[in-house]
Amino acid sequence: MFSLMYGFWKYMFSKTEFHVLILGIDKAGKTTLLEKLKELYLNLEGLPPDRIVPTVGLNIGRIEVGNAKLVFWDLGGQPGLRSIWEKYYEEAHAVIYVVDANAPTRFEDSKSALEKVLRHHDVQGAPLLILANKQDLSSAVSSEEVARYLDLKKLDERLYMFEAVSGFDGRGIKGSVDWLVDAMERSKRSEMLRSRTPAA
Ligand SMILES: Nc1nc2c(ncn2[C@@H]2O[C@H](COP(=O)(O)OP(=O)(O)OP(=O)(O)O)[C@@H](O)[C@H]2O)c(=O)[nH]1
Ligand SMILES: [Mg+2]
């Protein structure tokens, strides 16, 4: 009886944890975005942008949104570090892919790195949020233009969305996170990952 009640209590009140990988080529603005997320959701002063250095290891951030606990994994995007990304695919519920919308000369690199992610079996079906970042700059292109440029094929039945954001002024971030939480809550991949986790 106790375990039944405990199970019900856990079902009602425990929060689901989701792992979100933040990917994108170097200088796209991933770590700046992570710091902004902490500021927006934890009311913490994030690291100021001029203190953020290129990522070599892994940065982790945790926030709570409604009934969900999100754990963000921010990895380095320099070419020599991209081979590390795939080590995190298997455990990821979703992927945020950050694009520097102010750097059209790097769109090609960004597109091919993303295509490689999407081809990988271990991240199959993970909802994908593509952020056209740096919208605080007047020369940044729109999310529609980034979408046109990336011209993603083979999205199959993956849930995805493009959004215009800025890791500096925070625009677009909360709406994107709301979409992501909803997508993870209804994705088949989350169901699959849940079924692999032994009940505590
Ligand atoms: N104007 C503007 N600059 C940004 C924004 N986000 C990041 N930057 C700048 O872009 C540069 C790279 O930012 P990072 O957050 O370190 O980029 P990253 O994607 O984490 O880079 P790696 O760790 O090397 O993969 C820095 O000079 C940031 O200040 C933004 O929203 N607007
Ligand atoms: Mg970084």
Ligand 2 mean position to 95 CA, how many Å? Answer: 15
Is residue 46 annotated as involved in ligand binding? no
Rounded to two decimals, the ipTM of the complex is 0.99
Q: At residue 15, does pLDDT exceed 70? A: yes
| 174 is annotated as contributing to ligand binding | no
CA of 55, closest atom in ligand 1: 23
Mean pLDDT throughout 100-122?
97
Q: Which of 22, 27, 36 is the pocket-test mutation for ligand 1 (most atoms within 8 Å of CB)?
A: 27
| Ligand 1: nearest atom to the Cα of 77 | 25
Neighbours of 66 (CB within 10 A): 11
**Å from CA of 105 to ligand 2 middle:** 19
pLDDT tens digits along 168-186:
999 999 999 999 999 999 9
**Closest ligand 1 atom number to CA of residue 35:** 15
Residue 49: per-residue pLDDT: 92
Q: Yes or no: say if 140 and 95 are a contact pair by the CB < 8 Å rule.
A: no
Asked if pLDDT for residue 10 goes beyond 70, the answer is no
Q: What letter does residue 150 receive in the DSSP assignment?
A: H
Strand ranges (E), the chain:
16-23, 58-65, 68-75, 94-100, 128-133, 160-164
Q: Phi and psi of 102, rounded to 5°?
A: -100, 5
74 is in an annotated binding site: no
Catalytic site includes residue 124:
no
Enumerate residues 6+ apart whose C-beta is below 8 A from 84: 75, 76
